[in-house]
Amino acid sequence: MMQALAMIFTPQLLEATIRLSTPVTLASIGAMVCERTGVTNIAMEGIMLMGAFFAAAVGYATGSPWLGLLGGIAGGMAFSLLFAWAAVTLHINHVVAGAIMNILAFGFTRYFMNVFYHIQGTSPALPVTLHNYKYAVPLLGSLPVIGPAFFNQTPIVYMSLVAVIAWAWILARTRLGLSVLAAGEHPMAYETLGRSVPRIRYFGVLMSGLLCGIAGSFLSIENSNSFTEGMTDGRGFIALAANIAGGWRPLGCFLSSFFFGFVDALQLRVQSSGLLRIPSEIFLVFPYVATIAAVAGLVRGSRPPAAVGKDFTIEGEGD
Amino acid sequence: MKRALVLAIAIAVVLTMSVEAQSAKPLVAMTTDTNGLGDGSFNDGVYAGLKRAEAEGLCTVKVVEAHAMTDYVPNLSGLAEDGAKLVFGVGALMIEQIQEAAKGHPNTYFAGIDHYYGGEIPPNLIGISYREQEAGYLAGIVAGYMTSKYSKNSPLLNGKNVIGAVLGMDIPPVERYLAGYIAGAKSVNPTVDVRYIVTGTFADRAKGKEASIALIDQGADIVMQIAGLTGMGVLDAARERHVFAIGADVDQNAAAPEYVLTSALKGTTISAYKAIKALSDGTLKGGQNIVYGLAEDAIDIAPFHQFDKIVPAEVKDAVAKAKRDIISGKIKVPVSLAELGIKK
Amino acid sequence: MKKPVLQAGLLTAALLMALPGVVLYLASYFWGAWLLLGALCMLTAERLLTRGPAEVGVQARALLAKAAMPVEGICLALLIGAAIMAVTGHDPISSYGALFYGGLVKNWDVSVLNATPLIFTALAVAVAFHGGLFNIGAEGQYYVGVIVATWLGLMLRLPPILSLPLIFLAGALAGALANVIPAWLKVRTGAHEVVTTMMFAYAVATLSPIFIRAHGGDPSMTDHPGATDTILQQSQLPVFKSVLPLANYRLHFGILIAIVLALLVRFLLSRTNLGFKIRATGFNPTAARMQGISVAGITMASLLISGAIAALSGVTQVVGLDHRMYQNLSAGYGWNGISVALLARNNPVAIIFASLLWGTLDAGGQYMARTVQTPNAIIEIIKGVILFLMLAEYLWTWLSARLRRQRVAA
Amino acid sequence: MRRRRTLYFSLHGQSGDIVLSHLVTPDESDRSSPVLETRGITKVFARNIANKDISIQLRRGEIVAILGENGAGKTTLMNILFGLYRPSGGEIFLDGRSVVFDSPRDAIRNGLGMVHQHFMLVPTLTVTQNIILGAEPVRFGHIRYREAREKVAELAGRYHFGVDPDARVEDLSVGLQQRVEILKALYRNARILILDEPTGVLTGIEVDELFTVLKRLASQGTSIIVITHKLEEVKRLSDRVYILRRGVMAGERRTSDVQAHELASLMVGREVVLRGRRAGSEASPSPILAAHELEVRSSRGFMALRGCSFAVGPGEILGLAGVEGNGQKELADAVVGLASIEKGTLVFKGQDISRWGVKKRIMAGMGTVPQDRRGAGLVLPFSIEENLLIGASDLPPFNRRGFLDFSAVRRNGEKLMESFDIRAPGAAASASTLSGGNQQKVILAREFSRAPSFLLVCQPTRGLDVGATEYIYGRLRDLRDAGAAVLLISMELEEIFDLSDRIAVLHEGRVVFEKPASQTTQAEVGEYMIRGLAETRG
């Protein structure tokens, strides 16, 4: 019993948590920015999938994982641009548009797997992946427990941490941050001050596209070496939950993503330790239950942006 | 409505004609289950068999991926109507549908992969199933030896005497693999610690990777994947953590040559190929269930490829002996964890 | 004096032609279309008689205007799909030929089978929509329905007259229960139902193997690993074949149940007090509350009804088609239900047609992939584009404005 | 789906149709050239013409009022001047040169500043953040908050605005919020200040203070346009006044030489008479609704009602005056049954209803005309008849064992439309297409149709034109005369005095003053309201 526990709660548990939470963290920051500008974004699952696919495709074509990363970002942003066009310019209800984008993403990736490689399932492998660029921060990297988890990591893990800190700073101290906050709280006020609400909302969606693109790239060309169909497996939605549970705050997003990742990592280790031999499904269901609990428990305190999910037009000529 | 209908029919007639353009070689077709091609499992396995036969000039090939379970019947009978001489239905979920299709198209042979039919079987239908546990058993023997007794033979081994397995969903074929794997390992190394994780999905590669890293962190130096696409993550983990992986269903060595020790082969490829061969020889016999196992040499483990030199003779002999004993029935390989006294 | 008699006669005639017409057509007796056409004529005649040609003309034009946008949207989407095919080296014409021949004629029965569960799930989503809620977890309630139906189907030893209604009832109840917690959380803490129901869907799907192992799926058996045993004969839904010999042997009465349910939901929303309150709450909770409508109660009600309907989808699928529960069986009926509801703008009757369209695209896509080897993933893309165009009302107003301007300029 | 609900903020000033009338030529006596001038501005919306051929002039340091009923097109005109809307025709001149404003940004850059009727402030941000938003002092995108704070504080000091640069806007009183709005304009060095219905939400004293501020600004050379529908404001504040009626220019006058009634008739197009008040009444011995020491918490957690007591008797209108944010909202919620009463009792016809639900109260004969017509009163996408049905859908004749009888609903709708003179194409017309006045009439019709013995009325005529106001006052008096008790909560003193038989003042959650209307004056009441204001400010 004791040594079984000792076997579960190891430094590796923390590393696994980071690996599992990285894509969710990135996507949830994207969701946060997007919703702060007033656009509800449930299309992240699809955007992430597109990112993963194009990262693998470009990476394989060029042989460089870094170009692959750019490809993933480009794919994610291009796809999110489509979403922005639908939600902001065409005034389609945001949740609806998001649902459509997800359908589209699955169709696209599967179709182009066939067109590009004439195979389904797994795309051809990259010779080098971003994992080959694992980098240990001097000094910090050699810290006991958190060292390997936070400071001896692969590029995109660092990017996710940077994204969290950067956005915490941007929202608190910069013109951009102020614009983002205002547009989601009182769009009309923002517009009457001579700034364009649609423009900032496009920015928000594109930012989520960028971050989800990176998240997708993590899945395909950092954590593994090729794209497999449906490899996001619901992470986009978990990210949405993480954003809500995190109260639309960068740090909150990170913490809740981290928590979900931790639950998952723990679950895997408890299973393999053979500590409890109950149906494995009981473990597998835990992250979902945890998410529900988190949403139910934490959402009370946090307040969503007043105008999130609401369409914006100046002259209500529709009515 | 009506006009659109007429139009559609007109067009359809035209193109069905164009499709009917017959070639000399017999048409052999398959319909996948809803997982489609690229499942890294039996769909790909059977498809490989068809490709091989095609390469050898035995037939021309056509494949359809089912989108929903409702598609099975139209796909199966449709392929027959397209003039296929032999139609493979892959996946246990179309077990009734294929029997219906067989009754409806007596001039076409149907072969159901992972099917075992009870009662009276149509003369043009063949049920093909496998004893995955035997493949698992052989893989288990290799793993059981290498992880402890011969852990010096490779820098990838750590001698902690722990091996692991990553499962997709907890369904019977998977469990049969696992049961065989555990039994095989224990048979040559009673003290070996076999750990396994059920990921609950056949599609989440990242999760498969984390699962096997969890096992590796707990000392496992050989991890078998029984998880379809999730299993790709096991290979990722092996590549990253420098341990051995064991593939499943098809020889996965190509996916990570430096790390895939061997693969437990479920002879979907060979069995499909055999059926086609028999078809072209005119010896194909329907109305029966064929359970492929070692005896039918459709179950095996893949060659060790570049690891051939580090796998000592004792291991190879043990594998060979196990094969003989299983065939002769001296060894009865368990099919469920329950038989091993492990409760889920 | 004579008018009302004639009127009643026409109506009954229309009804008498329409009912068998629908059944026959669904059972791929295509000449049923003539009956439907006849019914339509009767109806028009009756209208002409009572309303007079002028108003009928107006109504007809209004109907056409309503239909125009969807049709345009679908056509445009097909064009875009064709473009993609052409670019990626597949012949659009033969592909579409196969698509529609396969979907509407050759495998029409498959289209119907595909549509059946979609109608239920779409209705479920629509009811929630009208209450201002987004039941994104219809998938989960679908599973619940499947589990209950399978379990009872294996247990109940009653004559069909009893067991079938019992199963449907129990399934609906279970589906409603599945939504109790999300609804309660929504009311209590304001936890967003999009997240909670979605997570419930994942949770139920994850847990289902336990049930399957408990009822069959014995690893030592090779037949049907990963599926429960077949449910008893008496809890299986009758099939069209029992009355129409030429119908496909799998085509079951589920589609009729679905259509009836759609009409019931329409009635619920437009003609009942509850439906009125649901709509009022959906549009403006504050005003509803001010007028003494218990918003919490209505939220509960609409989510529970939604859950019940979604579960019925699973029930029908089991007692009608599958007759057992499979490991990860769902072809995403829950998720697709959302698209269909959106496509139909949450109009219960429109949902019937939208579902049939979706089913046709899927079935036809299979036929297309088989005969002309165009990958059927293109279907998913086309679906997405259709939804996209359908929902972008703004796009259409914008386009028409553009056109008008040009016409003015010219 | 529900997107439509989010559009309404942009819909003000779109109703009303066109009446041809000749244009009054602007008088030429003033020699100085105009800072701002419009020539023949016309604005056509999808459905109607909001402005037709409007020409105005504004000179340096001048305060010009634009007078008109709701729907006269005032706000549309201002939104055009401010670059929010594009004019369909006509030209705008600044210092004599023609300009085109594509967006508010252009207008701001050209020295225009606008204070909107609905404040354009982000409640969750601080005063400083709100003021600098869109014109932040930045170095590499990084905001120099210290510098910003100082400038804001300096401005606020210069005009004696007394706002704390670090306060969160949502915590400020309405009056202060308005000053923040003005500061926003000044921060951007506005030469021309446009105020849309500035006094709608202010108390007497706040109005005075606002006017002094504006006069000071004008004397320092800022030109000011004030949009209003209140005659006495025009008289008190402006140098000149333009009168708009139904989208066209009905006249232009020099304020010094025009009488209020002339303005009124220009604005409405006919003579206006307001009915007098009933002889003052004392608190009745047997009240319909009586509150004893109510204590109610606000949604933000603090105790908003601290022992509030009052009583409304049959056949009287009790006017509850007070500065916004002194517990009016909580009181209304408590009476309706939305807020939970922590202490004290609410007695209706002798029964303690403190714990009753909304529905039970309505059934017992209590009605409500909420302050937020569109947000809380109506379901805008619903038809008129449906709106009249809400709340009554459980009752016969509409409800037959859970099913609705729509012929009854239609009959009811048409009857009420007729008797409340609701102007719409038909009972099936969507409420969203109605003008503010007609929307309010729909609400009144619904409440009156249940013959309530008590009616709570909050700001019933906010933003309504004189005609509608007149009508609604009339109906309320009729109800009163029929023996019902009416509780009127309003922040506009005029309204309180026009309507009430007795007047009470709500301050910091208590009733601090109560007298028959006949025995008090606006000055006295205002006094009581302000004393609270002073305390809350300090």
Count the domains in chain B: 2
Measured in angstroms, the CA of D21 and the nearest CA of chain A are apart by: 27
The answer to whether the Cβ–Cβ distance between D125 and A176 falls below 8 Å is no
Alpha carbon D228 to chain centroid, angstroms: 11
**196-225 of C, contacting B, C-beta below 8 A:** 206, 209, 212-213, 217-225
CA dist list (Å): B182 to A212, A271, C89: 41, 16, 49
Domain with A36 in it: what CATH number? 1.10.3470
Q: How far apart are CA A53 and CA B88, in angstroms?
A: 31
Measured in angstroms, the CA of A117 and the nearest CA of chain B are apart by: 12
Q: Which residues of C touch B227 (CB under 8 A)?
A: none
A63 touching C (Cβ < 8 Å): no
Q: How far apart are CA A318 and CA C393, in angstroms?
A: 10
Q: Which residues of C touch B291 (CB under 8 A)?
A: 222
B95, B155: one domain: no
Most B CBs within 10 Å, among A120, A134, A237, A238, to test the B interface: A120
Query: CA nearest B176: which of B299, B87, B74?
Result: B299
Phi, then psi, of B9 in degrees rounded to 5: -60, -50
A281 touching D (Cβ < 8 Å): no
Q: How far apart are CA A32 and CA D132, in angstroms?
A: 24
The mean pLDDT of chain D is: 81
- pLDDT value at residue C136: 85
Which of D173, D189, D205 is where one domain is finished? Answer: D189
A66 touching D (Cβ < 8 Å): no
Per DSSP, what are the bridge partners of residue B28?
A: B61, B86
Write the pLDDT tens digit of every residue in C133-145: 888 889 899 999 9
CB A253 within 8 A of CB A29: yes
B91, B152: one domain: no
Residue A312 is assigned to a structural domain of this protein: no
B30, B154: one domain: no
pLDDT grade for B323, boundaries at 50, 70 and 90: very high
Count the domains in chain D: 3
Q: What number of C-beta contacts closer than 8 Å exist between A and B? A: 113
Query: CA nearest B133: which of B169, B99, B188, B179?
Result: B179
B138-159 average pLDDT score: 91
The answer to whether the Cβ–Cβ distance between A315 and D6 falls below 8 Å is no
A81 touching C (Cβ < 8 Å): no
Nearest CA in chain D to C134: D1
Q: Is there an interface between A and B (3+ Cβ pairs < 8 A)?
A: yes
Least confident of A70-79, A131-140, C10-19: A131-140
Of B204, B205, B210, the CB nearest to A19: B210
Q: List chain D pLDDT tens, one digit each, 538 residues.
A: 333 332 233 333 333 333 333 333 334 334 467 888 988 888 887 656 778 888 888 998 899 999 876 667 887 888 888 888 888 888 899 888 888 888 888 888 888 888 887 788 888 888 999 998 888 888 877 888 888 899 888 888 887 777 888 888 888 877 788 888 888 888 888 889 999 888 766 666 778 888 888 888 888 888 999 988 777 778 888 899 998 887 888 888 888 888 777 777 777 665 544 444 444 455 566 889 999 999 998 776 677 888 899 999 898 999 998 876 778 888 999 999 988 899 899 999 988 998 998 999 999 999 999 988 888 889 888 989 999 998 888 888 888 888 988 888 999 999 998 888 888 878 888 888 888 888 999 999 999 988 899 999 998 887 787 888 888 999 999 999 988 999 999 877 788 888 899 999 888 788 888 888 888 887 778 777 765 544 433 3
Q: How far apart are CA C348 and CA C337, in angstroms?
A: 12
Strands D248-254 and D89-94: unpaired
- pLDDT value at residue D538: 32
B299-306 average pLDDT score: 90
A119 touching D (Cβ < 8 Å): no
Residue A127 is assigned to a structural domain of this protein: no
Q: Which residues of A touch B197 (CB under 8 A)?
A: 268, 271-272, 280
Q: How far apart are CA C123 and CA C261, in angstroms?
A: 9
C22-46 average pLDDT score: 90
The answer to whether the Cβ–Cβ distance between A114 and C338 falls below 8 Å is no
CB D379 within 8 A of CB D393: no
CB count in 10 Å sphere of residue D256: 9
Least confident of A291-295, C59-63, D376-380: A291-295
The mean pLDDT of chain A is: 85
Count the domains in chain A: 1
Identity of the residue numbered C343: L
Chain C neighbours (≥3 Cβ pairs under 8 A) are: A, B, D
Which of D272, D300, D315 is where one domain is finished? Answer: D272
**pLDDT > 90? residue B200:** no
Write the pLDDT tens digit of every residue in D504-529: 988 878 888 888 888 888 777 877 77
Strands D138-139 and D142-143: antiparallel
* DSSP code of residue D275: P
Per DSSP, what are the bridge partners of residue C122?
A: none
B187, B319: one domain: yes
Q: How far apart are CA D382 and CA D364, in angstroms?
A: 26
**DSSP string of C97-135, one letter each residue:** HHHHIIIIIITHHHHHHHHHHHHHHHHHHHHHHHTT---
User: Residue B246 has which token pair?
Assistant: 């064991």
**269-298 of B, contacting C, C-beta below 8 A:** 291
**pLDDT > 60? residue A268:** yes
Q: Which residues of A touch D431 (CB under 8 A)?
A: none
- pLDDT value at residue A70: 96
Strands A135-136 and A152-153: antiparallel
D319, D468: one domain: yes
DSSP-derived 3-state class of residue A159 = helix
CB count in 10 Å sphere of residue A264: 25
CA dist list (Å): B13 to A41, B85, C91, C97, C100: 46, 22, 16, 9, 12
Per DSSP, what are the bridge partners of residue B225?
A: B166
D125 touching A (Cβ < 8 Å): yes
Residue B10 is assigned to a structural domain of this protein: no
- pLDDT value at residue B16: 47
The answer to whether the Cβ–Cβ distance between D379 and C289 falls below 8 Å is no
Q: Which residues of A touch B37 (CB under 8 A)?
A: 119-121
Identity of the residue numbered B180: G
The answer to whether the Cβ–Cβ distance between A279 and C210 falls below 8 Å is yes
Looking at chain A, how many residues does it have? 319
How many CA atoms are closer than 13 Å to the CA of B139, on its beta-carbon side?
Answer: 40
Please list, in sequence order, all residues whose beta carbon lies within 8 angstroms of the beta carbon of residue A109, skipping any fewer than 6 positions away: A49, A50, A53, A227, A229
Please list, in sequence order, all residues whose beta carbon lies within 8 angstroms of the beta carbon of residue B134, skipping any fewer than 6 positions away: B180, B293, B294, B299, B326, B333
CB count in 10 Å sphere of residue B182: 25
**CA angle (A250 as vertex; A247, A256 as ends), nearest 5:** 60
CB count in 10 Å sphere of residue B1: 9
C329-353 average pLDDT score: 84
Identity of the residue numbered C399: L
**CA angle (B25 as vertex; B20, B27 as ends), nearest 5:** 55
Measured in angstroms, the CA of B179 and the nearest CA of chain A are apart by: 16
D214, D314: one domain: no
CB count in 10 Å sphere of residue D40: 14
Q: How far apart are CA D280 and CA D319, in angstroms?
A: 12
Q: Is the ipTM of this complex over 0.90?
A: no
Nearest CA in chain C to A290: C199
- Contacts of the segment B121-125: beta carbons below 8 A, 24+ positions apart: B121/B286, B121/B287, B121/B288, B121/B289, B122/B286, B122/B287, B123/B286, B123/B287, B124/B286, B124/B287, B125/B98, B125/B99, B125/B286, B125/B287
Q: Which residues of C touch D409 (CB under 8 A)?
A: none
Q: Which residues of A touch D49 (CB under 8 A)?
A: none
Query: CA nearest B162: which of B108, B216, B125, B98?
Result: B216
Q: How far apart are CA D377 and CA B11, in angstroms?
A: 58
What's the domain range around B223?
Answer: 132-266+312-340
Q: What ranges do the domains of chain C cover?
A: 2-54, 91-374
The answer to whether the Cβ–Cβ distance between C292 and D370 falls below 8 Å is no
- pLDDT value at residue D4: 34
B251, B286: one domain: no
Residue A95 is assigned to a structural domain of this protein: yes
Measured in angstroms, the CA of C342 and the nearest CA of chain B are apart by: 21
- Bond into C219 cis (ω within 30): no
Residue A139 is assigned to a structural domain of this protein: no
CA dist list (Å): D475 to B287, D415, D445, D455: 90, 16, 10, 12
B155, B171: one domain: yes
* DSSP code of residue D171: G
**For chain C, percent of residues with pLDDT exceeding 70:** 91
**For chain A, percent of residues with pLDDT exceeding 90:** 38
* DSSP code of residue D519: G
B69, B110: one domain: yes
What's the domain range around D152?
Answer: 119-189
What's the domain range around A230?
Answer: 2-121+144-298
Residue D523 class from Cβ within 10 Å (0-12 exposed, 13-18 middle, 19+ buried)?
exposed
Provide the b/e sequence for D159-193 (b: ≥16 CB within 10 Å).
bebebebeeebeebbbbbbbbbbbbbbbbbebbbb
Q: Which residues of B touch A265 (CB under 8 A)?
A: 210, 214
Phi, then psi, of B263 in degrees rounded to 5: -135, 140
- pLDDT value at residue D280: 46
**pLDDT > 70? residue A316:** no
DSSP-derived 3-state class of residue D457 = strand
User: Residue B330 has which token pair?
Assistant: 């001296």
Q: Which CATH architecture is the domain C91-374 placed in?
A: Orthogonal Bundle (1.10)
Residue B7 is assigned to a structural domain of this protein: no
A200-206 average pLDDT score: 95
- pLDDT value at residue D425: 79
- pLDDT value at residue D71: 65
The answer to whether the Cβ–Cβ distance between B205 and A271 falls below 8 Å is no
**pLDDT > 90? residue A205:** yes
Residue B53 is assigned to a structural domain of this protein: yes
Domain with B109 in it: what CATH number? 3.40.50.2300
- pLDDT value at residue D31: 45
Least confident of B7-16, B87-96, D440-449, D501-510: B7-16
Q: What number of C-beta contacts closer than 8 Å exist between A and C? A: 124
CA dist list (Å): C264 to C258, C409, D221: 10, 50, 70
Please list, in sequence order, all residues whose beta carbon lies within 8 angstroms of the beta carbon of residue A72, skipping any fewer than 6 positions away: A51, A52, A54, A55, A56, A58, A213, A214, A216, A217, A220, A221
CB count in 10 Å sphere of residue B304: 17
Q: How far apart are CA A208 and CA A47, in angstroms?
A: 9
D78, D199: one domain: yes
Residue where the block lists tokens 């009832």? C169
Query: CA nearest C309: which of C170, C142, C70, C195?
Result: C142
Chain B neighbours (≥3 Cβ pairs under 8 A) are: A, C
**pLDDT > 90? residue C198:** no
Segment holding D57, helix H or strand E = strand D57-58
Q: Is there an interface between B and C (3+ Cβ pairs < 8 A)?
A: yes
D202, D174: one domain: no
Q: Which residues of A touch C342 (CB under 8 A)?
A: 96, 99-100
Q: What number of C-beta contacts closer than 8 Å exist between A and D? A: 109
**pLDDT > 60? residue B8:** no
Measured in angstroms, the CA of A319 and the nearest CA of chain D are apart by: 8
Residue B23 class from Cβ within 10 Å (0-12 exposed, 13-18 middle, 19+ buried)?
exposed
The mean pLDDT of chain C is: 87
B287, B213: one domain: no
Q: Which residues of D touch C290 (CB under 8 A)?
A: 336, 338, 358, 368, 370, 376-377
Phi, then psi, of B63 in degrees rounded to 5: -135, 140
Q: Which residues of B touch C365 (CB under 8 A)?
A: 67
B108, B191: one domain: no
CB B70 within 8 A of CB C102: no
* DSSP code of residue B39: S
Q: Which residues of D touch C274 (CB under 8 A)?
A: 402
Measured in angstroms, the CA of D321 and the nearest CA of chain C are apart by: 23
D104, D51: one domain: yes
D331, D200: one domain: no
Residue D473 is assigned to a structural domain of this protein: yes
pLDDT grade for B216, boundaries at 50, 70 and 90: very high
Question: Rg of chain B's alpha carbons, rounded to an integer?
Answer: 22
